[in-house]
Structure 1
């Protein structure tokens, strides 16, 4: 378990944020951490699942950060499905 920092943006938000994530976290947890910064503040809440994208690939929410190859300062895009 180690903490890395990634750059993250939620679709519809103008801010790119620096987010600390644990490499043992699931992508579902990471999506919620990123959404917490934007949904209800810059992006209206919606009753839809949230997806994480990395290098133009949608990631499985059950996978861990470490298993996907996400590294320090990578850019993650989070969006409603």
Structure 2
């Protein structure tokens, strides 16, 4: 990025998300500038400790059959509106 360019404005990215072995997929709103780690917590919030037993493990995010690095932003990871993500506990 040069000195004259500015970062794009964050955009709303509604995602289809499911956590671990939950039976319910949810529509989760995230922002394009949020990290994948933040996305994981938003998806887990609705299931963890409710329909899915809470575990003391790190989480991992799968998008298009690949593990997404947690430090990337949603935009950097190439996650687009209405894409499907699965969040699970790391083995």
TM-score (ref. length: structure 2):
0.87
- After superposition, residues 42-57 of structure 1 pair within 5 angstroms as 42-57=51-66
* RMSD between superposed Cα atoms in Å: 0.5
Higher relative contact order (CA 8 A, sep 6+): 1
Match of 1:22 in 2: 31
Q: Which has the higher helix share?
A: 1
Structure 1 segments, 4+ long, off by >6 Å, are none
How many residues are paired up? 81
Q: Which runs of 5+ in 1 are unaligned?
A: none
Indicate which of 57, 60, 64 corresponds to 2:69. Answer: 60
Q: Which runs of 5+ in 2 are unaligned?
A: 1-9
Give the number of the structure whose alpha-carbon radius of gyration is greater.
2
Cα distance between partner residues in 1 of 2:67 and 2:32: 18
